[in-house]
Amino acid sequence: MAKYLAEHERKMQLTKEEFKNRLKRKLNDYYEEDIDTASTSELFAAISAIVRDGYAPQWRRTRIAETKQKEKQVYYFSIEFLPGTLLKSNLLNLGWLKTVREALSDLGLDLDKIAEYEPDMALGNGGLGRLAAAFMDSLASTGYTGNGNGIRYKYGLFKQKFVNGYQRELPNDWLKKEGHWEVRRESKSVLVRFGGKVNMVEDNGWLIPQYEGERVVRAVPYDVAVVGYQDGLTNTLRLWDAEIPPEEELNYPTISDRRRVEDLTSILYPDDSNYEGRLLRLKQEYFFVSAGLQSILDYYITKLGNKNFAQLSDYVAVHINDTHPAMAIAELMRLLVDEHRVDWDTAWNITQKVMSYTNHTIMAEAMEKWDVNMMSELLPRIMQIITEIDRRYCEGLKGRVSDAVIDRTRIIKNGQVQMAHLAIIGSHSVNGVAALHTQLLETEVLKDFYNLYPERFNNKTNGITLRRWLQIANPELSDLLDQTIGKEWRSDSNKMLNFEKYYHDTKVLNQLHEIKLDNKKKLAKFVKEQTGIEIDPTAIFDVQVKRMHAYKRQTLKLLHILKLYQDLKARIDHPKRVIIFGAKAAPSYVFAKQIIKVINETANMINNDPDIHGKLKVVFLENYNVSLAEKIIPAADISEQISTTTKEASGTSNMKLMANGALTVATMDGANIEIKDAVGEENIFTFGLNKDQVYKYYAEKSYHPRKMYEEDPVMKKAVDALIDGTVPNCSSEGQALVNNFLSDNEQFLVLADFEAYLKAQEKVEQTWAQKRIWQQMSLVNIAHSERFDSDKTIERYAQDIWHLKKLKIEKVDR
């Protein structure tokens, strides 16, 4: 095998000429076309085939090393993975990006144009899904065997369109163009059961379940290679599709029976924090959890040749990404106790050692709860097992803590299964995603659990794939880093700190300015093509990109826009600014959709008002996704991170924007605090209520925004613009926003932060006038973004939670 691989790899060395030859050959073999006659889709297919050939040996090598070295592996269970497009990141990680770009350019072709053909693999909503994809990349790049386990949704996150300023959702049929990166692994299929009745019968002194009338679905895995950077591993992201088992065809006689099976993996629930879809969502959760765990145990038994489950945690870590896969705890118990006849206590011990859990939000509505009746009907055996876990939990604590604590922390309460409680009780580790968030979990949201099990709690601040956000999205900045600090930063992000040495280097500061300007010109061109709006690349590009949500407070930005507009109308001058939004609202989230409508109408009004001489522009780009982020982020001057303090668990766009040299306007929320710690107070614009002030408002019920509004004429004028006819065509939506702002129950305290936000923005304007200082601040931000490299985050998970060792694998000669 080693010989085969060595030979294969020698062939894999890629020069420009070799690439051109391969491209010609592939086009010929597949389509009987030449380079000059091939279409973009054909070019894309041919290049992706060359890339697949490129990573195949390392994929194989990784698998062989895994079974030989038997190092512990982590399985990252997540209902969302959001890798975006893969062509350029696979090329980059193979070390081929430059060669291929230049070879194509020799042929008169543009890699970026061809790459645009690839649809985003948007199997996620936002932060949580993108983080899962980042972790996949980092595990492979840092040399740990990490496997993703998720769902192969037929339709990814909806495509967003604006019609008359309203959000419309279109299906995102990303697979219509064939899946270029996946391999169907028929032989690894497993069966998953739903519904029916369970009767426990005795067998050799063991109570085992007998199922009656259940529906059997076949889970078929599609494996996607996760190519580690340069000498990294090539790991596997396993996504499950639902099919009718051939032997069960007779049980699915009608079209609607069949459709029900297809529906299982048909759509990604488009809810971020706000959560709705019920029964189908529960089915999806169990489906990928059961399939994933079955394949893990199969591997453990057959490949590792191990039947002693007591050692499972020496070989396997299962990570539960938010509560959606929390049923893994009950399902592993079922598999161990029912299928492999491990006694309950041993099985429980194993399960707790194997499982770990990350919480991504403190928003109460995102805390999953399932109706006991629904769960009993759909998953009768799982419900029995959860009931038993709950019973033993309560029994174990009885007399040791107060009944009130038991009652607050138990899994089943008021006819509902509390998934977060199941996740915490069944895991050895519970982590938040930024220091403040973890602290709030410990002291507020999960306080009882923290008192019971302090040793389980730990923080793992999020990270981003710097490779994608710098080397792919911002090649010019990457080149500048190469020229100044050398190329090592590309594989060792610590080296980025050396960029600070250029703090006083006028040439470098000017280059930074030029690069930003160039990226802004590119974005301006794109904006013109997409929206027809002309924007001036020399203006401040002020960016807020993230899901649309009340707590993220795009509304605060809106009020700032209205204030600037009113000033300009009154001939009070401000530096030129372009405000850029990208945001999808969950389809069922009425308020978020109203905000979109109002922002769009405000933009329309401002962009067409000749009185303000183009000094202010507002651009709301449609369909924000990873690909669009790659265009916007490198062009940003300002990064808006203005959530209500305590509400944003971490944020990750804050990290991407900082890495690209944007300066952050930030509340002291989530990871913003750590950004401030990294760059220093003087290199960030902070403002707003702190966590104690926020909690004080809640505790004392002392938030009276109408009073603030009545007493602050500037605020009043900005708010009134939404209802006094200033902003046209959205009176009902404008009214809804105003009602919300002025209500004592407004949770996100928008008006409370208004004045402080304006002050922070004034500081932004003053700093903008001092070009050199701005560039220096930008430079410091770039240098310190190394702290948020997801490779570092993953090292901490690997050490502290999963206890992994790196796989030893020979260097690949490419």
Residues labelled catalytic: 360, 546-547, 552, 652, 656
Residue nearest to ligand 475 (CB): 127
Instruction: Write down the least CB distance from residue 271 to ligand 475, Å.
Output: 5
Judged by CB under 6 A, the chain residues 669 through 728 that form the site for ligand 475 are 670
Instruction: Write down the least CB distance from residue 333 to ligand 475, Å.
Output: 24
Tokens of 748: 């996100």
Helix (H, G, I), strand (E, B) or coil at 389: helix
Q: How far, in Å, CA of 582 to CA of 160, rounded?
A: 10
Q: Which is nearer to ligand 475, 292 or 670 (CB)?
A: 670
- Among 97, 128, 406, 812, the residue binding ligand 475 under the rule CB under 6 A is 128
Judged by CB under 6 A, the chain residues 254 through 273 that form the site for ligand 475 are 271-273
Q: Which is nearer to ligand 475, 651 or 661 (CB)?
A: 651
**Residue where the block lists tokens 């032997």:** 247
Kindly state the helix (H) or strand (E) to which residue 237 belongs, with its residue range. strand 234-243
**Could you tell me if 634 and 660 are in contact, meaning their C-beta atoms sit under 8 angstroms apart?**
yes
Instruction: Write down the least CB distance from residue 667 to ligand 475, Å.
Output: 13
Judged by CB under 6 A, the chain residues 384 through 403 that form the site for ligand 475 are none
Is the four-CA dihedral 723, 727, 732, 738 of positive or negative sign?
negative
Instruction: Write down the least CB distance from residue 797 to ligand 475, Å.
Output: 13
Told to check if 125 binds ligand 475 by CB under 6 A, we report: yes
Instruction: Write down the least CB distance from residue 769 to ligand 475, Å.
Output: 33
Residues 6+ apart with CB under 8 A from 139: 74, 76, 145, 146, 226, 228, 233, 235, 794, 798
Q: How far, in Å, CA of 645 to CA of 552, rounded?
A: 10
Residues 6+ apart with CB under 8 A from 385: 330, 333, 334, 337
Q: Which is nearer to ligand 475, 126 or 143 (CB)?
A: 126
**Per-residue interface string for the shown chain with ligand 475, residues 633-652, x marking contact by CB under 6 A:** ---------------xxxxx
**Could you tell me if 499 and 779 are in contact, meaning their C-beta atoms sit under 8 angstroms apart?**
yes
Amino acid identity for residue 279 in this structure: L
Strand partners, 170: 159
Q: How far, in Å, CA of 3 to CA of 523, rounded?
A: 49
Q: Which is nearer to ligand 475, 153 or 275 (CB)?
A: 275
Told to check if 438 binds ligand 475 by CB under 6 A, we report: no
Torsion of CA 312, 422, 433, 92, to 10 degrees: 50
Told to check if 433 binds ligand 475 by CB under 6 A, we report: yes
- Residue 229: count of CB within 10 angstroms of its CB: 21
Instruction: Write down the least CB distance from residue 653 to ligand 475, Å.
Output: 8
Give CA 288 to chain center in angstroms: 18
Which part of the chain contacts ligand 475 (CB under 6 A), choosing from 11-19, 50-58, 125-133, 170-178?
A: 125-133
Q: For residue 646, which phi and psi values (nearest 5 degrees)?
A: 90, -10
Q: Which is nearer to ligand 475, 126 or 582 (CB)?
A: 126
Instruction: Write down the least CB distance from residue 551 to ligand 475, Å.
Output: 9
Instruction: Write down the least CB distance from residue 171 to ligand 475, Å.
Output: 18
Instruction: Write down the least CB distance from residue 276 to ligand 475, Å.
Output: 10
Told to check if 753 binds ligand 475 by CB under 6 A, we report: no
**Could you tell me if 230 and 217 are in contact, meaning their C-beta atoms sit under 8 angstroms apart?**
no
Told to check if 793 binds ligand 475 by CB under 6 A, we report: no
Helix (H, G, I), strand (E, B) or coil at 433: coil
**Could you tell me if 761 and 560 are in contact, meaning their C-beta atoms sit under 8 angstroms apart?**
yes
Tokens of 759: 């002050």
Q: Which is nearer to ligand 475, 125 or 234 (CB)?
A: 125
Told to check if 131 binds ligand 475 by CB under 6 A, we report: yes
Q: How far, in Å, CA of 584 to CA of 168, rounded?
A: 10
Which part of the chain contacts ligand 475 (CB under 6 A), choosing from 19-27, 340-348, 360-368, 725-733?
A: 360-368
Which part of the chain contacts ligand 475 (CB under 6 A), choosing from 89-97, 359-367, 439-447, 803-811?
A: 359-367
Q: Which is nearer to ligand 475, 126 or 380 (CB)?
A: 126
Is the four-CA dihedral 628, 630, 633, 634 of positive or negative sign?
negative
Q: Which is nearer to ligand 475, 271 or 786 (CB)?
A: 271
Radius of gyration of the chain (CA): 27
Q: Which is nearer to ligand 475, 252 or 802 (CB)?
A: 802
Q: How far, in Å, CA of 405 to CA of 737, rounded?
A: 39
Told to check if 283 binds ligand 475 by CB under 6 A, we report: no
Instruction: Write down the least CB distance from residue 230 to ligand 475, Å.
Output: 26
Told to check if 441 binds ligand 475 by CB under 6 A, we report: no
155 conformational bin, left if phi > 0, alpha if psi -120 to 50, beta if neither: beta
Told to check if 156 binds ligand 475 by CB under 6 A, we report: no
Give the Å distances, CA to CA, from 261 to 130, 158, 283, 634, 691.
27, 21, 10, 43, 46
Told to check if 361 binds ligand 475 by CB under 6 A, we report: yes
Q: Which is nearer to ligand 475, 316 or 433 (CB)?
A: 433
DSSP per-residue string spanning 750-799: TGGGHHHHHHHHHHHHHHHH-HHHHHHHHHHHHHHGGGGBHHHHHHHIII
Instruction: Write down the least CB distance from residue 274 to ligand 475, Å.
Output: 8
Strand partners, 182: 224
SS3 string, 275-300, reads CCCCHHHHHHHHHHHHHHHHHHHHHH
Q: How far, in Å, CA of 33 to CA of 24, rounded?
A: 8
Q: How far, in Å, CA of 659 to CA of 646, rounded?
A: 24
Instruction: Write down the least CB distance from residue 424 to ligand 475, Å.
Output: 17
Q: Which is nearer to ligand 475, 273 or 778 (CB)?
A: 273
**Per-residue interface string for the shown chain with ligand 475, residues 469-508, x marking contact by CB under 6 A:** ----------------------------------------
Told to check if 180 binds ligand 475 by CB under 6 A, we report: no
Instruction: Write down the least CB distance from residue 124 to ligand 475, Å.
Output: 8
Judged by CB under 6 A, the chain residues 52 through 91 that form the site for ligand 475 are none
Q: Which is nearer to ligand 475, 103 or 417 (CB)?
A: 417
Q: Burial, 196: exposed, middle or buried (Cβ in 10 Å; 0-12, 13-18, 19+)? A: middle
- Among 84, 126, 143, 221, the residue binding ligand 475 under the rule CB under 6 A is 126
770 conformational bin, left if phi > 0, alpha if psi -120 to 50, beta if neither: beta
**Could you tell me if 19 and 102 are in contact, meaning their C-beta atoms sit under 8 angstroms apart?**
no
Q: Which is nearer to ligand 475, 159 or 324 (CB)?
A: 324
- Among 19, 275, 300, 309, the residue binding ligand 475 under the rule CB under 6 A is 275
Which part of the chain contacts ligand 475 (CB under 6 A), choosing from 49-57, 191-199, 358-366, 699-707?
A: 358-366
| Total residues in contact with ligand 475, by rule CB under 6 A | 20
- Among 57, 83, 127, 688, the residue binding ligand 475 under the rule CB under 6 A is 127
- Among 99, 313, 462, 478, the residue binding ligand 475 under the rule CB under 6 A is 462
Q: How far, in Å, CA of 185 to CA of 173, rounded?
A: 22
- Among 366, 480, 535, 662, the residue binding ligand 475 under the rule CB under 6 A is 366
Give the Å distances, CA to CA, from 519 to 116, 294, 401, 752, 786.
18, 48, 59, 35, 21
Interacting residue ranges for ligand 475, rule: CB under 6 A: 125-128, 131, 271-273, 275, 360-361, 366, 433, 462, 648-652, 670
